[in-house]
């Protein structure tokens, strides 16, 4: 694949898999990893999927932080 099309393909794939994950609740990494390994070398593809898999929960947590029960969270973390 041409180098100019690779970032576009990764972005489109990320958006499509994110939307599918939100609709059906299926794991982001489980769906995204096989396609990323086809687009990128295996190590880089898996590392990118792992990185993107940490971004989405962080953004969702930021939106829902007012609903967090902090005392219970601290107890569970301990």
For residues 68 and 70, what is the distance between their CA atoms, to the nearest angstrom? 6
Strands (E), 1-78: none
Q: Which of 33-37, 56-60, 66-70 has the lowest mean pLDDT?
A: 56-60
pLDDT of residue 43: 92
User: Residue 75: is its pLDDT beyond 90?
Assistant: yes
pLDDT of residue 72: 92
The b/e string for 3-38 (b: 16+ C-beta within 10 A; e otherwise) is eeeeeebbeebbeebbeebeeeeeebeebbbebbbe
User: Residue 12: is its pLDDT beyond 60?
Assistant: yes
Instruction: Parse the chain into domains and list their residue ranges.
Output: 5-77
pLDDT of residue 1: 54
pLDDT of residue 2: 64
pLDDT tens readout for residues 16-42: 888 887 777 677 788 888 888 888 898
List the structure tokens of 18: 């994110």
């Amino acid at each position: 694949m041409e180098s100019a099309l690779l970032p576009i393909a990764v972005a489109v794939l990320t958006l499509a898999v994110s939307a599918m994950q939100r609709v059906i609740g299926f794991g982001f990494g489980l769906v995204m990893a096989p396609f990323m390994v086809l687009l990128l070398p295996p190590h880089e593809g898996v590392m990118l999927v792992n990185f993107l898999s940490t971004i989405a929960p962080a953004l969702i947590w930021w939106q829902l932080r007012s609903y967090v029960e902090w005392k219970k969270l601290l107890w569970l973390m301990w």
